[in-house]
Amino acid sequence: MGQRLIRIIINPISGAGQDQRFLRELVRHATLRGFTVEISPTQYPGHAADLARATPDDAYAVISLGGDGTHREVFSGLVGRPVPACIVPSGTENVLARTFGLVGTLRETLNVLQRRRFLELDVGLAGDHPFILFSGVGFDAAVTQEVHARRHGRIHRTAYYGPILRTWWRYAAPPLTVSVDGRPLCDDAGFVLVANTPLYGGRLRIAPQAVADDGLLDVVCFRARSRWQLLGLYARTLRAAHLDHPLVATARGRRIEVTAEQNLPVQLDGDAVLQTPVSYTIHPGAVRLLVPESLHERRN
């Protein structure tokens, strides 16, 4: 049965949620195509990873129906395994879906499943915590921590506005020290982004040269120690003009160390998960993402 098994892991409180009619139609069409479908709603943080981990190695696919945090958990449970994942975006930002041009319609999802073309993506590791997109240390992680501390049910984009303004006004920006493959990069960053992919929330491209299958992580350090410097660098990032600024340091490598004089929050794919100090490594080609055939042909 495993070879025709599709497990749908769904986060019922992700972003704006997913239309129940979509789910019913997805199950109906998949069943008509001869698949055995199991629907597995998440019930607690980390449950999506547990559900993915419990999926048999000979399963046809796992469908991750949720936001970027849900997708991160699903891929965490599939690292180093042959089971591919199909993502259906229903979160607040849906950065992973936008990175690969996935719109999550019923037709696209069924075509992606039927064709079963996949890309092998790198997985970043913050300690032993996997991530697919990016990890932020400093300002954005402090915002993420406040948003999730106040979370009651689904998160909409407006939930970030107040925490962003409050954090911008009061954040002390303790200095972050960063090294890449044993070489020092900076010792005065106020915000650090370690990226596996180019897109960030709000359609920003903080690390525009990051590639998800090159076996490397990109790091961008904003050496902004005041709220006004941070605001200025944000404005330059909106214009894609930040990388050549003297207060921005960038590098690419396989091991990145970020330390601070105090414990600071660290976010992974939009979820506050751990604190500094943090050591990043890369697991090349560790997961399989199902993509449309046209994208598969362009990337191969």
Q: Any idea where the domains of the chain sit in the sequence? A: 2-116, 129-283
Query: Could you report the per-residue pLDDT of 241-273, keeping only the tens digit for each?
Result: 999 999 999 999 999 999 999 999 999 998 888
User: 2-116 architecture in CATH?
Assistant: 3-Layer(aba) Sandwich (3.40)
Q: How open is the CA angle 71-74-79, to the nearest 5 degrees? A: 115
Give φ, ψ of 58 to 5 degrees. -95, 15
Of 162 and 185, the structure prediction assigns the larger pLDDT to 185
* Rounded CA separation 140/267 (Å): 8
Of 197 and 172, the structure prediction assigns the larger pLDDT to 197
All residues at 6 or more sequence positions from 1 whose CB lies less than 8 Å from its CB, including other chains = 36
pLDDT average, residue stretch 64-79:
95
**Does residue 214 have a pLDDT over 90?**
yes
Q: Categorize the per-residue pLDDT at 91 as very low, low, confident or very high, splitting at 50, 70 and 90.
A: confident
**Does residue 142 have a pLDDT over 90?**
no
Q: Categorize the per-residue pLDDT at 11 as very low, low, confident or very high, splitting at 50, 70 and 90.
A: confident
**Does residue 111 have a pLDDT over 90?**
yes
Query: Could you report the per-residue pLDDT of 37-49, keeping only the tens digit for each?
Result: 999 999 998 999 9
Average pLDDT in the chain: 89
Assigned CATH topology for domain 129-283? Tumour Suppressor Smad4 (2.60.200)
User: What end-to-end distance do the CA atoms of the chain give, in Å?
Assistant: 31
Count of beta carbons in the 10 Å neighbourhood of residue 239: 7
